[in-house]
């Protein structure tokens, strides 16, 4: 039996375009793809594939479905066989086993919580439309907000009765356990055994997951009570993590793909009112600060975000807080401040889709224009405030991952602030170096500091390697959303040792001063060796794995392979499965006694070799970039900086000679 966790991982990983493309030639048609149907004699493309819905359908014969359904039908496989097919395609390990009682219980508990939330939503909606109190209080409130009945039904809005235990009694009477009423946060239990509804006397806003399941609720009180919070939300649970959810994402995902843009607002009613006005590609952070999990959820559907906030001071500050995090994740940001006194909810109620979009087009600005003009107005003629403004803007530009976009913003900022572009460029470079150092993304020795491009995809590798040791293997194919870094192959080679043998003892070291000895594990040696030269992995995902492995290695029970294969971050889990696969085994070394040594027996040779290979590749790139800079200076006849560059080049080549010797004198320097 395949456990539910693995099934969920397979279904989450399987992308319909990716799966169908293995069998059908697809061509983009708008937001979808079209091809000849594989299930009937199709002469004109009638087989449509929707990446946003993650389904396919033939409009001629009617066949289609999810990636799993497509594989079952096309390959004539059973449900379990199709799961295994997709698992193999996406590098997900399937271990068929009888679930333990604990696993069965966990799976059952999650399903019970989803079922209870669905029951609660239907109960609250029924109250709103059918109960006297719900109609007179809850429905009256929604009518006052101008919500139409079709919109109320679409978002499954509801009302929780004012009797403080009405829902708890109803749910337990229907057979739902008190345990799950507490776990979902629908009820609060007291020591005397009494149950109270968390949301009594409130209108209800269900929060839907990307797949449409109700994972939580938000409840708004209607009475004016200064001692009571206006909004109460479900607590975190096994099925609800607020940092990974966005209100309205289930209803917005198709429109986000269609329009290639997401409107980001603050609250439930902002989303609902904009839907009612005809704008559906809108989500809300539900009044909480944006998180990386929420931003990555948006990034699955579009790279373009327009932030809509109130035109008052609080709205402006909220916009500024969220911008840097969005920029850091590589999204393209526009900002729209609504007229003073308006929020997206109230403004949308006065508009239709055409007039609202027109207002956005007329009033949106990119983040540089928004931030500089806003802060310029605040700084007035104060030179200190103006200097702080420039520093603030430069800090925002510095965290943008794409170098070309940074350059465009520097030019634009230079014009707005009337400041020399070169001065701004120097400021951004310093801030970016500090930012990367803080994140420990990449570091180089001070005496050989050079520029390493994070956008380069050139494959820099050793020409040959010692007998029995393979050169860095080809990296597992990256997804479209995953960045490619210049030293990925070398990092992955070292990371493979971390995943497979991270907790394994490599050697015993002795401190020459204290004479104390310590046992050094594989992951500790890799990190220590890199830090001796002030280096670190450039790829953030690889670095995260390395850092976590080092931290976890302090725990005697830590097993790197199992820990990372079942990591909650799907990107880490997928990569761990790939690196743990036997197909990436290095060549085995044959001694003169014909004994075949296993990889685990040669780690003291393999790991130092691959650490040196990584450093050598970094040196090669620095040398190549300095040579390019020298060539440009010579073409421009700018000889002032040449001596400094030539001195750095000479030092780097001396260092590389040493690394070449360590690699067996097999790496040829290109002078």
Q: How confident is the model over 171-188, as a mean pLDDT?
A: 94
Query: CB-hemisphere CA count at 13 Å for 593?
Result: 2
**387 against 140, higher pLDDT:** 140
Q: How confident is the model over 521-540, as a mean pLDDT?
A: 87
- Does 247 have pLDDT greater than 90? yes
What pLDDT band is residue 667 in, cutting at 50, 70 and 90? very low
| pLDDT at residue number 200 | 94
Domain match, 143 and 60 both: no
| Residue 344 lies inside a defined structural domain of this protein | no
DSSP string, 62-114: --EESHHHHHHHHHT--HHHHHHHHHHHTT------PPPHHHHHHHHHHHHHH
| CA gap 336, 318 in Å, rounded | 12
| Residue 94 lies inside a defined structural domain of this protein | no
| pLDDT at residue number 452 | 32
**125 against 18, higher pLDDT:** 125
| Residue 291 lies inside a defined structural domain of this protein | no
| Residue 543 lies inside a defined structural domain of this protein | yes
Q: Which of 492, 475, 504, 487 is nearest to 604 (CA)?
A: 504
| pLDDT at residue number 512 | 62
| CA gap 226, 211 in Å, rounded | 37
> Looking at 405, 439, 473, which one is the last position of a domain?
439
Domain match, 58 and 125 both: no
| pLDDT at residue number 589 | 36
pTM for this entry: 0.56
Q: Are 211 and 255 in contact (CB under 8 A)?
A: no
| pLDDT at residue number 447 | 31
What pLDDT band is residue 80 in, cutting at 50, 70 and 90? confident
DSSP string, 365-416: EEHHHHHHHHHHHHHTT-HHHHHHHHHHHHHHHHT-S-HHHHHHHHHHHHHH
| Residue 250 lies inside a defined structural domain of this protein | no
Which of 120-129, 191-200, 204-213, 399-408 shows the highest mean pLDDT? 120-129
| pLDDT at residue number 316 | 65
Domain match, 475 and 551 both: yes
Q: How confident is the model over 563-569, as a mean pLDDT?
A: 80
- Does 462 have pLDDT greater than 80? no
> The domain that contains 23 carries what CATH number?
3.90.580.10
Q: Are 117 and 29 in contact (CB under 8 A)?
A: no
Question: What are the tokens at 547?
Answer: 């850092």
pLDDT averaged over every residue in the chain: 80
Strands 195-197 and 187-189: antiparallel
Q: Which of 11, 9, 53, 47 is nearest to 29 (CA)?
A: 47
Which of 126-135, 300-309, 453-462, 589-598 shows the highest mean pLDDT? 126-135
Number of domains in the chain: 4
Domain match, 411 and 523 both: no
Domain match, 667 and 530 both: yes
| CA gap 500, 492 in Å, rounded | 12
H-state helical runs in 131-278: 132-133, 140-144, 149-154, 166-173, 178-183, 249-259, 268-276
| pLDDT at residue number 93 | 84
| Residue 410 lies inside a defined structural domain of this protein | yes
Q: How confident is the model over 154-179, as a mean pLDDT?
A: 94
The backbone torsions φ and ψ at residue 224, rounded to the nearest 5 degrees and listed phi first, read -85, 95
- Does 476 have pLDDT greater than 50? no
Domain match, 430 and 451 both: no
Domain match, 598 and 667 both: yes
| pLDDT at residue number 313 | 58
> Looking at 240, 260, 294, which one is the last position of a domain?
240
Domain match, 379 and 491 both: no
For residue 635, what is the enclosing H or E element? helix 603-635
Residues belonging to the chain: 671
**199 against 479, higher pLDDT:** 199
Domain match, 435 and 455 both: no
pLDDT digits (tens, 9 = 90+) for 577-624: 888 865 444 333 333 334 445 778 888 888 988 888 888 888 888 888
| Residue 333 lies inside a defined structural domain of this protein | no
Domain match, 483 and 593 both: yes
- Does 156 have pLDDT greater than 80? yes
Domain match, 483 and 540 both: yes
Torsion angle, alpha carbons of 120, 125, 129, 130, to 10? -10
- Among 99-103, 212-216, 330-334, 597-601, the minimum mean pLDDT is found in 99-103
| pLDDT at residue number 428 | 87
> Looking at 381, 415, 439, which one is the last position of a domain?
439
| Residue 231 lies inside a defined structural domain of this protein | yes
| pLDDT at residue number 507 | 86
| CA gap 225, 363 in Å, rounded | 37
| CA gap 360, 358 in Å, rounded | 5
Domain that holds residue 108: 99-240
% of residues, the chain, pLDDT over 90 = 24
> The domain that contains 147 carries what CATH number?
3.90.980.10
Domain match, 81 and 10 both: yes
């Amino acid at each position: 039996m395949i456990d539910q966790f693995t099934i969920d991982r397979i279904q989450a990983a399987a992308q319909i375009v990716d799966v169908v493309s293995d069998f059908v030639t697809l061509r983009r048609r708008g937001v979808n793809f079209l091809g000849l149907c594989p299930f009937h004699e199709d002469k004109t493309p009638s087989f449509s594939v929707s990446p946003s819905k993650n389904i396919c359908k033939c409009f001629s014969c009617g066949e289609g479905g999810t990636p799993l359904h497509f594989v079952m039908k096309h390959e004539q496989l059973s449900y379990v066989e199709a799961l295994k097919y997709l698992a193999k395609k996406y590098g997900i390990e399937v271990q068929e086993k009888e679930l333990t009682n604990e696993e069965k219980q966990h799976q059952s508990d999650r399903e019970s919580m989803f079922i209870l939330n669905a029951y609660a939503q239907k109960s609250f909606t029924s109250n709103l439309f059918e109960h006297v109190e719900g109609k007179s209080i809850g429905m009256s409130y929604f009518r006052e907000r101008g919500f139409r009945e079709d919109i109320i039904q679409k978002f499954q809005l509801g009302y929780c009765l004012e009797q403080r235990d009405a829902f708890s009694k109803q749910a337990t009477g229907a057979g739902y356990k008190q345990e799950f009423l507490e776990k979902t946060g629908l009820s609060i239990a007291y020591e005397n055994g009494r149950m109270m509804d968390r949301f009594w006397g409130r209108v209800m806003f269900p929060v839907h997951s990307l797949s449409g399941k109700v994972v939580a609720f938000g409840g708004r009180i209607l009475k004016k009570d200064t001692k009571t919070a206006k909004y109460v939300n479900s607590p975190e649970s096994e099925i609800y993590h607020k940092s990974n959810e966005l209100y309205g994402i289930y209803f917005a995902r198709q429109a986000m793909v269609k329009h290639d843009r997401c409107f980001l607002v603050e609250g439930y009613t902002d989303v609902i009112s904009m839907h009612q006005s005809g704008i559906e590609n809108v989500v809300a952070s539900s009044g909480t600060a944006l998180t990386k999990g929420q931003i990555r959820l948006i990034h699955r559907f579009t790279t373009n975000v327009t932030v809509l906030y109130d035109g008052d001071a609080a709205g402006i500050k909220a916009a500024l807080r969220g911008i840097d995090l969005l920029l850091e994740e590589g999204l393209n940001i526009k900002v729209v401040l609504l007229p003073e006194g308006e929020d997206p909810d109230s403004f949308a109620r006065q508009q239709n889709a055409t007039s609202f979009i027109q207002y956005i087009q007329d009033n949106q600005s990119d983040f540089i224009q928004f931030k500089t003009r806003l802060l310029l107005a605040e700084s007035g003629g104060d030179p200190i405030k103006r200097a702080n403004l420039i520093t603030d803007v430069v800090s925002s530009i510095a965290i943008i991952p794409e170098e070309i976009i940074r350059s465009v913003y520097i030019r634009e900022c230079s014009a707005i602030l009337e400041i020399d572009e070169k001065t701004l460029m120097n400021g951004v470079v310093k801030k970016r170096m500090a930012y990367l150092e803080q994140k420990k993304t990449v570091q180089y020795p001070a005496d050989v500091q050079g520029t390493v491009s994070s956008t380069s995809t050139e494959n820099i590798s050793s020409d040959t390697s010692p007998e029995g040791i393979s050169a860095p293997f080809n990296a597992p194919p990256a997804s479209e959303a995953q960045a490619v870094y210049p030293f990925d192959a070398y990092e992955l080679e070292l990371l493979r040792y971390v995943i497979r043998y991270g907790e394994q003892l490599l050697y015993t070291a002795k401190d020459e001063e204290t004479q104390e000895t310590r046992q050094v594990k594989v992951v500790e040696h890799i990190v220590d060796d890199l830090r001796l030269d002030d280096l670190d992995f450039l790829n953030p995902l690889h670095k995260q794995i390395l850092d976590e492995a080092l931290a976890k290695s302090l725990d005697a029970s830590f097993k790197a392979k199992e820990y990372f294969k079942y990591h909650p971050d799907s990107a880490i889990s997928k990569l761990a499965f790939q690196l743990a696969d036997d197909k990436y085994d290095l060549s085995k070394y044959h001694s003169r006694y014909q004994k075949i040594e296993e990889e685990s027996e040669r780690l003291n040779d393999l790991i130092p070799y691959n650490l040196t290979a990584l450093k050598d590749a970094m040196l090669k790139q620095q040398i190549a970039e300095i040579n390019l800079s020298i060539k440009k200076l010579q073409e421009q006849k700018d000889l002032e900086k040449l001596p400094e560059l030539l001195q750095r080049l000479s030092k780097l080549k001396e260092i590389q000679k040493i690394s070449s010797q360590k690699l067996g004198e097999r790496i040829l320097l290109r002078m």
